[in-house]
Amino acid sequence: MDAVYSKDDQGAYQTLKITIEKDVATVFHYLSTTEGIQQWFPQLAFGARQVGGKMTFHMDGQDDMEMEITAFEENEAIGYTWDSGTVRFDVIGEGNQTILVFDEFLPYGFPHIVLDFSGWQFQMESIKSVAETGQPIDQSECDFDSKKQAIAQQLELEA
């Protein structure tokens, strides 16, 4: 997976790119339907699959967080608010492969930028695994500490 980080006076940015050995329609299903997304991110659910539609993030012991879909183009892109930030997935087909590009922006007021960035790196690997094998990756197999340290160093933020 390729990862690029940057920041400006507004906040921090992350772009991740990964190649998945499945067609675009299959990958987009995993990104844009409740049935698909819950296989790799079980806390998320979709309402209306359209710009302005809602999603929910269910956190045990807390109120569900509502997010708004900010981009939706079937088999091309989906984006939504992520707390005070935004995320977007773009899918690009190359035969039976899909290049998945993930862009995230988090303002400096977001409480755990580095943790969130490393979490999305794990989720990208999990999407790939679900699409290719039908199984998500176990979180215990991810070295979050190393990822957080690398991200913090590149962005000059605290882990």
In angstroms, the CA 46 to CA 86 distance is: 16
The pLDDT confidence band at residue 60, using thresholds 50, 70 and 90, is confident
Owner of token pair 């997976």: 1
In angstroms, the CA 89 to CA 29 distance is: 12
Q: What is the pTM of this model?
A: 0.94
CATH superfamily of 2-154: START domain (3.30.530.20)
- Note the pLDDT tens digit of each residue in 19-35: 999 999 999 999 999 99
